[in-house]
Amino acid sequence: MSTRRISKLGLFIAIALVLHIAEGMMPLPFIIPGARLGLANISTVMALYLFGKRDTFLIMVVRITIGSIFGGGFSGFLYSFSGGVCSFLAMVLLMTWAKDKVSPVGVSATGGFFHSVGQIMVSMILLETPRMIIYLPALSIVSVITGAFIGLVSLQVIGRLQKIVI
């Protein structure tokens, strides 16, 4: 791994962690348990477009692991990791199948939805009840809206960073 690549990945991980910590300090008006803006996902969406799948997955795993150490513990890690993997897979598949038809806004909104799906699946397993599925519609609506917002922010930054980062 080149020094340049390590530096770029480290920078995106650091940005994601700062956004994660900052979001944790903000009071959010969501009524739905577990709903968040997902600001750290800005680095994930941008990395998908700037670096590719392998580096993005590495950024995501390191961000989730360190973020869980900062706050969230093991259960927070399970929820974040399962949501992150589901989100990552959905975004990669969408980008592969509809490369020229979907913008970062659509990719991120899709990722937001599948992040919720992954978290609900883990909650159903950990709490040993299928009843957690009742949260999915409301959580999905919030996730798609926040995912679209993350995509809009990412879209604005990607254009500016392509000249510098790549």
Predicted confidence (pLDDT) per residue in 44-93, tens digit: 999 999 899 999 999 999 999 998 888 778 888 999 999 999 999 999 99
Which of the four pLDDT bands, split at 50, 70 and 90, describes residue 160? confident
* Mean pLDDT, residues 147-159: 92
- Select from 3.30.530.50, 1.10.1760.20, 1.10.357.10, 3.30.70.100 the CATH code of 3-165: 1.10.1760.20
Each as own residue / partner, the long-range contacts of residues 151-155 (CB below 8 Å, 24 or more positions apart, any chain) are 151/45, 151/103, 151/104, 151/105, 151/106, 151/107, 151/108, 151/109, 152/105, 153/42, 154/42, 154/45, 154/46, 154/49, 154/104, 154/108, 155/103, 155/104, 155/105
Mean pLDDT of the chain: 89
**Tokens 């978290």 map to which residue?**
119
Nearest in space to 80 (alpha carbons), one of 60, 98, 55, 97: 60
